[in-house]
């Protein structure tokens, strides 16, 4: 049984930058992308190593992660973490894998979060942007009819409507004696 379900996603990308030594004590840097320009063969290993690291970082900046990409590790039967079986899951991340004990190979890959967590000597460079939530239209407020101040219901059809901003004058109360109140 295959623990990796088939998806309609596009395959994850991988770039490999390699520093290769030669018997004449020189070295050269190669990239898996044929269009990349590499420095000439040199005896200055420090500058070549710095170039290889910078070149990997340049690929990371230029590439980013794609929302629809699948795990590149799955395409390689999860060889990067073969001792730790895992089912691919989670968002796609761009990782840089560089084993400091070897120090000669930099691998940049789009992998799933589960494989990234199981792969040794990795650094997560970027994560896929989360899909924007669908915009929900605002719920319109229920329109209520205007109610004249102090009343609990609007005037019915044909009924009186008070003038806005004016209050009714109250009749003066009369005392029991019948004289108006001061």
Average pLDDT, integer, range 164-175? 51
Chain centroid offset of residue 68 CA: 12
Model confidence pLDDT, tens digit, residues 42-62? 999 999 999 999 999 899 888
Phi, psi angles (nearest 5°) of residue 62: -75, -35
Q: Is the pLDDT of residue 25 over 90?
A: yes
Average pLDDT, integer, range 158-169? 54
As beta bridge partners, residue 97 has: 107, 122
On the CB side of 162, CA atoms within 13 Å amount to 14
Q: Is the pLDDT of residue 22 over 60?
A: yes
H or E element in which residue 108 lies:
strand 105-112
CA–CA distance, 43 with 48 (Å, rounded to integer): 9
Model confidence pLDDT, tens digit, residues 136-159? 566 565 555 554 544 444 555 555
CA–CA distance, 27 with 40 (Å, rounded to integer): 9
């Amino acid at each position: 049984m295959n623990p990796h379900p088939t998806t309609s996603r596009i395959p994850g990308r991988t770039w490999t930058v390699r520093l290769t030594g030669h018997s004449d004590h020189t070295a050269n840097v190669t990239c898996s992308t044929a269009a990349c320009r590499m420095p000439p063969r040199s005896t200055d290993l420090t500058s070549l190593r710095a170039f290889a690291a910078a070149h990997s970082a340049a690929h990371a900046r230029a590439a980013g992660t794609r929302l629809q990409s699948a795990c590149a590790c799955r395409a390689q039967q999860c060889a990067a973490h073969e001792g730790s079986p895992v089912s691919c899951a989670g968002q796609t991340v761009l990782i840089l894998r560089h084993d400091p004990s070897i120090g000669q190979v930099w691998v940049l890959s789009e992998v799933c979060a589960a494989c990234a967590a199981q792969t040794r000597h990795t650094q997560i460079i970027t994560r896929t942007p989360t899909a924007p939530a669908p915009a929900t239209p605002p719920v319109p407020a229920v329109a209520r009819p205007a109610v004249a101040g102090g009343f609990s219901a609007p005037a019915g059809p044909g009924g009186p409507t008070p003038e806005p901003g004016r209050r009714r004058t109250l009749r003066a109360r009369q005392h029991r004696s019948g004289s108006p109140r001061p």
